[in-house]
Chain A
């Protein structure tokens, strides 16, 4: 690796918060295997985490993580002493990630206990030892200031000024904005464990955890490499008049492909999701073999209750309906989002079982269930 220092000029837009995201003198980048929305730099006395906070990767944030003395750098990044003592998690996927890293005890606040499945966190929420900062959807700033976590793990809102609230920064609370859901492969999402681990000095745990997930995933993928029959699949349900389906370069499309299925909407080069209407979906997916990810439905009857016209789909007629809500709590919190997204190998195993049950005869579906 080159020892020449590189100067990263990251985007700037003028205000005080953004100027903190301007520049950092960093060397020794660590290569990610899949993830592209964060970068880690391992320096002699500190580590640096760079997270991109928009889809185009034109805006980013630099976090300098140090164990001993605060490093003297010319950069104007966010400085965080590790291990942090307390964390607020504003999405259930972060709770799952910290669970995998054995760092649940660091969590002192969550967004809303209803969305969380972890029994320990739920119990602590019930006892008020873990605060709920976003019960109504918007972050309660006053409650957050009283709770005073060292860092807040959150997804980007699209408004950096809101993400990096001046009042929180003034109180010494650093928002760590993680755009893990922009990643276009589920292994990339799982690799984010490496980024989270930096805040708790658990890099080795993260490395070994990710290596294990990656190894399992690739082994499972080889099972479907030789499949000659690839069943066709589509997913989601229309919301209002719009049917948001995963695009060809989304992590869901990648999972379908790796599980040996032929994804109906793979003839495009878009990331994220496509906005279609019922006509377009009927036209392409009417004869598809499988229909997955049917939101809150628990039975075929629930599906038809949403729209009677869903009965025209071949997948519905054959009851090849599989939803990712097998592990759900009474308030609607879904383990798929909490643990599944951090364990892409388990998700792939479920999908292979659905599409090619003979390949994994002993596997029992974990996150998915058939809607009958």
Chain B
């Protein structure tokens, strides 16, 4: 199958899932009424639900899914480890700890400061976690040890987060617990604009890093011989990963599994390690995957909206396991 065909299928899937996400929900709204919501902006219940609730949620799913998948791809290239991901290496945990410091310290509200403070705290936390892992990776070259150390960093950050939760007041704790449950439905207006803008800028920068990222796969020495400034590229990748996982974690909460699994799926489907295809593949696949998870989380059989984190793990993990077993040669 040609790349064009693969991209076409993914783009059609993305449009289909986007429409499905907007049309599905607890309240049944006929298709003609959904169309009316976009053409006629009268403040009727259907219009409020579709434009005020489902549309921002679907856009947030596209942003978060694509950003986490690309962050996972960058980390796997950076650490040359297929098991690397923001969750596995403890980056999400350090990011969560940073958000806990911000929120439990009283940094909540709807102000512009809060809108920027939250992603800043989250991204700085992710950056700190990544730098720590990078520092360790320089000293220890065994990939298994790095993964284990990443997990330990996650545990330590989790423990400190628990200490903060214990010491915080009820209202701050409630806000933080809600954030920690992860949700796509509370990202709107300014938050959605910031999320979208940061992600688009990061993707644009990624486009300039395609060649160096491909070179990194050959090893640092070979990449240097090709004229790549390794330290500059690594720092760029580090900042991009921190921004992508940080901004998503800030607004949607810590969403697991996407960053680890989606790059694998892209490699299986595209059968290439070229980062141009990996980048666009991860953007499309990540968006499709999180949209699908959101559709499942809103299925009427659950009666309520299930947290997105449950769906990403519960429905996604077995599916990816099956794909990995089926295509184990493609992964290796």
Contact = CB atoms under 8 A, between A and B. Distances in A.
B181 interface: yes
B304 A275 contact: yes
A58 interface: no
6 nearest A-B residue pairs (beta carbon): A305-B110, A240-B178, A241-B305, A277-B305, A275-B304, A279-B27
Nearest to B184: A241
17 contacts: A239-B174, A239-B178, A240-B183, A241-B185, A241-B307, A275-B303, A275-B304, A276-B304, A277-B26, A279-B25, A279-B27, A279-B54, A283-B45, A283-B49, A308-B189, A309-B53, A309-B188
A277 B305 CA distance: 6
Interface in A249-303: 275-280, 282-283, 286, 296
Contact of A308 (B109, B174, B188, B305): B188
Contacts of A280: 26-27
B296 to A, nearest CB: 14
Interface string A123-153: 0000000000000110000000000000000
A278 B304 contact: no
Given A241-B183, A275-B303, A286 B48 contact: yes
B53 A296 contact: no
Given A239-B178, A305-B109, A332-B170, A282 B49 contact: yes
Contacts of A6: none
A239 B52 CA distance: 18
A242 interface: yes
A312 interface: yes
Dominant SS at the B interface? loop
Interface residues of B, number: 29
B169 interface: yes
B166 interface: yes
A331 B186 CA distance: 28
B2 interface: no
Contacts of B48: 282, 286, 309, 312
B4 interface: no
Contact of A277 (B52, B167, B170, B304): B304
Nearest to B185: A241
Contact of B53 (A239, A275, A282, A304): A282
A307 interface: yes
A253 B276 CA distance: 59
Contacts of B188: 308-309
A169 to B, nearest CB: 27
Interface in B167-199: 167, 169-171, 174, 178, 181, 183, 185-186, 188-189
Contacts of A242: 304-305
A278 B178 contact: no
Contact of A312 (B43, B110, B166, B181): B43
Contacts of A307: 186
A241 B184 CA distance: 9
A305 B305 CA distance: 22
Most buried by B among A137, A242, A304, A331: A242
Contacts of B171: 296, 332
